[in-house]
Amino acid sequence: MWLLSFLLLLLLLLVLLMVALNDLLKIGHNGTKQTYLMARKRYRSLVENNPYAILLITSDIDECSADSSPCDENADCTNTDGSYSCTCKQGFDGDGLSCKDFDECSLEPSPCDENADCTNTDGSYSCTCKQGFTGNGSICEDVDECSADSKPCDENADCSNTEGSYSCRCKLGFSGDGTTCQDIDECSADSSPCDENADCTNTDGSYSCTCKQGFDGDGISCKGTYMRKHS
């Protein structure tokens, strides 16, 4: 008689376990994380409070195999014997059940080069070298714009490389912003650079002075031929 009662008790316990397990699996596939955890807690309570339940349990429940993982979507689920653990993925912080993105760009020092812009992304970040620098973002080096085949300055300007940039300055005899330079016509000035008895000829970036007929000199200073003979 006692054996029959014992078997009936085991049968009842088996039914309860099957119902609880079925609910657990259904919720794992279709339910929310909170309802899944509640159902799992009821199942564990049923097993732990019945000494004969161990006789009816044949294998561990792999909680991590459920479509609706008990862990956060940004966490790794690791099944253990009779339980599981959740660990936030790289780039996220939390307890595994709840994980939030970690802003790497807020770190001091920045993970990027000092001459790069850091952009936070979901679970990661990216580094982009600033204008005037080249590299992968983790390491950025100055770009020497003045050494480029296609120089940024006018052909009649001097290019000076600076940290992350450059400057252009028109050469002597030219005027402009350095990117564009135009020849200065020195001969059109109110005060000619040549002697009053000389002809001024403008050239590209310069000028020349030639003493007029009847005068000798370098053009900057001219003396009459008659004056030289009697001086």
Domain with residue 200: its CATH number is: 2.10.25.10
Q: Based on the structure, what is the number of domains in the chain?
A: 4
Residues 169 and 203 in one domain: no
Tokens 């732990």, residue located: 48
Residue-level pLDDT at 229? 47
Residues 6+ apart with CB under 8 A from 98: 72
Prediction pTM value = 0.56
Q: Per the domain annotation, does 85 fall within a domain? A: no
pLDDT tens-digit series, residues 14-26: 555 555 544 544 4
Q: Per the domain annotation, does 46 fall within a domain? A: yes
Q: Per the domain annotation, does 198 fall within a domain? A: yes
pLDDT tens-digit series, residues 214-226: 999 998 999 987 5
Answer yes or no: are the C-beta atoms of 111 and 120 closer than 8 Å.
no
pLDDT tens-digit series, residues 110-156: 999 999 999 999 999 999 999 999 999 999 999 999 987 778 999 99
Residues 166 and 209 in one domain: no
Q: Per the domain annotation, does 90 fall within a domain? A: no
Residues 6+ apart with CB under 8 A from 66: 25, 28, 29, 36
Q: Per the domain annotation, does 77 fall within a domain? A: no
Q: Per the domain annotation, does 212 fall within a domain? A: yes
Q: Residue 113's domain spans which residues?
A: 104-142
Confidence of residue 161 (pLDDT cuts 50, 70, 90): very high
